[in-house]
Amino acid sequence: MSDLILDDDIDTQIISRYYLLKDDKRISFLPNVKPINIFVGANNSGKSWMMRYLMQMKNHTKVNFFEINDLIIDFNQVLGEDLVAQQIPSISFIDGNLPPLQIKKINNNNFYNIRKISETNDIHLKKFNNLNINKRGYYNIPIDETKINKLSVINQKIIEAAKFEDRLENLTKIFIPTLRTAHSLYDSKRIKIEDDIFHITLQQNFPLDNIKIFTGLHLYKEILNARNARKDVRKRFEDFETFVQNNFFSGKKIDVVAYFDKDKSLQGDNSDEVIYIHIEGENDTRKLHELGDGIQAIIILMYQIFMAEENSVIFIDEPELNLHPGMQRLFFEQISFNKDITKKKLTYFISTHSNHLLDLTLESDDVSIYSFTPIVENGDKKILIKNINFGNAELLRDLGVNNTSVFLANASIWVEGISDRNYIKAFLKAYCDAEEGRVYPKEDIDFTFFEYAGGNIEHYILGEEFNDDEEERFVEEINALALSNKIFLLADSDMSKEGTKKYLRLKSFEEKFSRDKNFDGLILWNIRESENLLPKEVWQKVLIEFCSKNNIDEQAQNKIDTFFVENVELNRTEYVGKFLKKIKESGIPLNEVCKKQSRGSGEEWQTFKDKAGLSRIVLEKTLNKEITWNDFKQVPEIVTLTKKIYQFIFKQEKDLTS
């Protein structure tokens, strides 16, 4: 866990208003900072103030402040009152006086004071411990040596914990404000305005030093300079072009060019300064300002992110402006998974009002969310900050997060949970990458996911009859076919036995697949759970991520590879824990990754503990092409499922446009 230490050298009038929830002292650190940090709250809740405060910080220092705080509490409890002692005046030693002993309580309000006091305490504690035992009794007050030993141990832990986990100095900071556009602005005489009037306005209202403010108005100059810059800058620009061509031009090779008429420019006429996009194999070129507003909006966001240097900190106000939910997903997935971006170790601070963007954060553990709530006490404004941990769906629902994209996409894929969602995305991505020209469908535009959470599917009206007593409850639930009449349902049987309630329900769904063109799906009858779908080639590539970090050596992956070469295919009707236990017993340092349940003669490993984490690793390795379609296609059910979903998505798209 990394907590960002707030800089006391900056004007404290702003930061003094902020308090962590349930803390009675003003905030001194921002807890649990991750690569992507999202600020949410109502208008005028203090999000922007905090963003601008962070922009002014010259350095970013990260430590585990919660651990330090717990140690400080222990230290102060053992110490009691400050200990100040010196040599008894009537005593003298031939070899020199005793060093003064001064051990102070540590105040946890200021990180730098914590370091200073603990380091000073360390000097005094070491001097006492280095004294000849016979001399320790000649201080003017009694010294409890047991207490000194305890204080020495705790103080050393504080010093270790307070070492900079990560300190970035003289940061490159980029701010993308709400005041932004890819359009050039012209005056009443239709002359292009050269000054970035958005930037000037922002600096007038909110003066910010040592930060690059990018409004998009100088995108033309940025591109012109990038194409003529040093090699590493040109490489970043090429990565940006690759992003644009893959997401907006079906993968066709493009060139983004800042065009100008040299003769007109020499005469002071800049009207022909235009950003063009040349598409390989096409005679026509596209002007950037003629593209859709959504494409222009995401290009403004992504340009600076691709062009940013390593370890830069990027501040973005409301990235959702002009972005369809599908474009919001594209933005979030790029900053989360694009290797050209993630390898630069950027840090993002993003303020948003987008429920959809918050919904996406459930898919990544590299996100920290902060909710801001203003209150008034004795006439003074006080702002409470609550850090919401990754995966806390209940708290996100409190913010109003829901699957709103179901209303906006062309088709919906119904899955039991996030694991199935990640696996299907991985299957589709690998399937599309396997053949040139096969287009990957855009999530939340071409299709979206709806998580029905297992048995809760009974609460959605898919044609089942219900009695009068149940009617009122069902009326309050979502009518699935009214939400979207283009549903693909994926369900595993959990090896349910013939005649059981679940078996009969799944059979009824299966019968509807063949009767209703708008309702399709696949029931995995002979698969215990979604993890059983994974071929051994995939397990072989991901298990190293679940091994004990302390016990991994250079031979660990070789041991895993050897195990899978020597062992037969997985039994897809049994819990995955059975073969994972066998892996652990073979000497591979696998953590206890499966839940245990008593099975008569003893405990047996069963289902995977962190299903979501496993699915995210599979998806990430697929996006990075470490796992490919050659791996997935070893399982016939994956091939069938992927092709059915792919055909269903584009069939629905065709039906809508025909």
CB proximity list for 573: less than 8 A, separation 6 or greater = 495, 526, 527, 528, 532
Residue 510: predicted pLDDT: 80
> What does pTM read for this prediction?
0.68
pLDDT band at 168 (very low <50, low <70, confident <90, very high): low
Q: For residues 35 and 33, what is the distance between their CA atoms, to the nearest angstrom?
A: 7
φ, ψ for residue 316, nearest 5 deg: -130, 125
**Tokens 């819990």 — which residue?**
575
Q: For residues 591 and 583, what is the distance between their CA atoms, to the nearest angstrom?
A: 10
Residue 73 has pLDDT above 70, yes or no: yes
Task: Give the single-character DSSP code of 309.
Answer: P
| Partner residues linked to 524 by β-bridges | 492
Residue 228: predicted pLDDT: 86
Both structure tokens of 137? 């009794």
Q: For residues 219 and 216, what is the distance between their CA atoms, to the nearest angstrom?
A: 5
Average pLDDT of the chain? 81
Which of 488, 412, 444, 481 has the alpha carbon at shortest distance from 641?
488
Q: How many CA atoms lie within 13 A of 304 on its CB side?
A: 28
Which of 380, 376, 332 has the alpha carbon at shortest distance from 358?
332
Q: What is the pLDDT of residues 587-641, one digit of tens each?
A: 888 888 887 765 544 557 788 888 888 998 999 899 889 999 999 999 999 999 9
Report the percentage of the chain scoring pLDDT > 70.
Answer: 83
Residue 158: predicted pLDDT: 92
314-328, 353-367, 492-506 — most confident range: 314-328
Residue 456: predicted pLDDT: 46
325-329, 392-396, 494-498 — most confident range: 325-329
The Cβ of residue 50 has, within 10 Å, a number of other Cβ atoms equal to 25
Residue 466 has pLDDT above 50, yes or no: no
Residue 453: predicted pLDDT: 62
pLDDT band at 113 (very low <50, low <70, confident <90, very high): confident
| Burial class of residue 463, CB neighbours in 10 A (0-12, 13-18, 19+) | exposed
Residue 516's identity, in one-letter code, is D
pLDDT band at 93 (very low <50, low <70, confident <90, very high): confident
Q: How far apart are the first and last CA of the chain?
A: 53
Instruction: Give the length of the chain.
Output: 658
Measured in whole angstroms, the distance separating CA 423 from the mean position of its chain's CA atoms is 18
Position with higher pLDDT, 407 vs 82: 82
Largest CA distance in the chain: 104
Residue 617: predicted pLDDT: 92
Q: For residues 636 and 431, what is the distance between their CA atoms, to the nearest angstrom?
A: 13
Position with higher pLDDT, 514 vs 312: 312
Q: For residues 472 and 407, what is the distance between their CA atoms, to the nearest angstrom?
A: 24
Q: For residues 217 and 92, what is the distance between their CA atoms, to the nearest angstrom?
A: 77
Asked whether 445 and 294 are in contact (CB, 8 A), the reply is no
CB proximity list for 461: less than 8 A, separation 6 or greater = 474, 477, 479, 480, 481
Which of 7, 1, 34, 6 has the alpha carbon at shortest distance from 20?
6
Which of 243, 267, 241, 268 has the alpha carbon at shortest distance from 254?
241
| Partner residues linked to 285 by β-bridges | 278
Q: Considering only 85-99, 380-394, 427-441, which range has the smallest mean pLDDT?
A: 380-394
Residue 400: predicted pLDDT: 46
Q: For residues 461 and 451, what is the distance between their CA atoms, to the nearest angstrom?
A: 15
Residue 389: predicted pLDDT: 60
Residue 459: predicted pLDDT: 44
Position with higher pLDDT, 454 vs 142: 142
Residue 461: predicted pLDDT: 38
Residue 25: predicted pLDDT: 76
Q: How many CA atoms lie within 13 A of 344 on its CB side?
A: 24
Residue 391 has pLDDT above 60, yes or no: no
Residue 380: predicted pLDDT: 80
CB proximity list for 567: less than 8 A, separation 6 or greater = 536, 579, 582
φ, ψ for residue 60, nearest 5 deg: -115, 115
**Tokens 């100095």 — which residue?**
169
Residue 597: predicted pLDDT: 64
Residue 167 has pLDDT above 70, yes or no: no
pLDDT band at 171 (very low <50, low <70, confident <90, very high): confident
62 three-state secondary structure: strand
CB proximity list for 564: less than 8 A, separation 6 or greater = 536, 537, 539, 540
Both structure tokens of 433? 């990458």
| Partner residues linked to 605 by β-bridges | 596
**Tokens 């950027």 — which residue?**
346
Residue 401: predicted pLDDT: 45
- The angle at the Cα of 502, spanning 496 to 505, to the nearest 5 degrees, equals 130
**Tokens 């009207």 — which residue?**
271
Residue 540's identity, in one-letter code, is Q
pLDDT band at 573 (very low <50, low <70, confident <90, very high): confident
Taking phi over 0 as left and psi of -120 to 50 as alpha, with beta for the rest, 466 belongs to beta
CB proximity list for 126: less than 8 A, separation 6 or greater = 152
Q: What is the pLDDT of residues 301-340, one digit of tens each?
A: 999 999 999 999 999 999 999 888 888 888 998 998 888 9
Q: Stretch 408-436: mean pLDDT, rounded?
A: 87
**Tokens 């200990």 — which residue?**
83
Residue 290 has pLDDT above 70, yes or no: yes
Report the percentage of the chain scoring pLDDT > 90.
Answer: 24
Where exactly does CATH 3.40.50 map onto the chain?
1-64+308-402
Name the CATH topology of 1-64+308-402. Rossmann fold (3.40.50)
Both structure tokens of 248? 């907006």
Residue 395's identity, in one-letter code, is L
What does the CA dihedral 510, 513, 518, 524 come to, rounded to 10 degrees? Answer: 60
69-83, 269-283, 364-378, 538-552 — most confident range: 69-83
Residue 451: predicted pLDDT: 78
Q: Considering only 296-300, 361-365, 387-391, 480-484, which range has the smallest mean pLDDT?
A: 480-484
Residue 533 has pLDDT above 70, yes or no: yes
Q: For residues 403 and 389, what is the distance between their CA atoms, to the nearest angstrom?
A: 20
Residue 256 has pLDDT above 60, yes or no: yes
Residue 644: predicted pLDDT: 93
Q: What is the pLDDT of residues 20-62, one digit of tens each?
A: 877 777 888 888 899 999 998 877 888 888 998 898 888 788 8
Residue 478: predicted pLDDT: 39
Which of 505, 527, 540, 512 has the alpha carbon at shortest distance from 638?
527
Q: For residues 40 and 359, what is the distance between their CA atoms, to the nearest angstrom?
A: 12
Q: For residues 510 and 340, what is the distance between their CA atoms, to the nearest angstrom?
A: 43
Residue 240 has pLDDT above 60, yes or no: yes
- From edge to edge, which strands make up the β-sheet containing 29-30? 29-30, 3-5, 60-63, 166-168
> How far is the CA of 449 from the CAs of 134, 359, 444, in angstroms?
75, 12, 8
Residue 408 has pLDDT above 70, yes or no: no
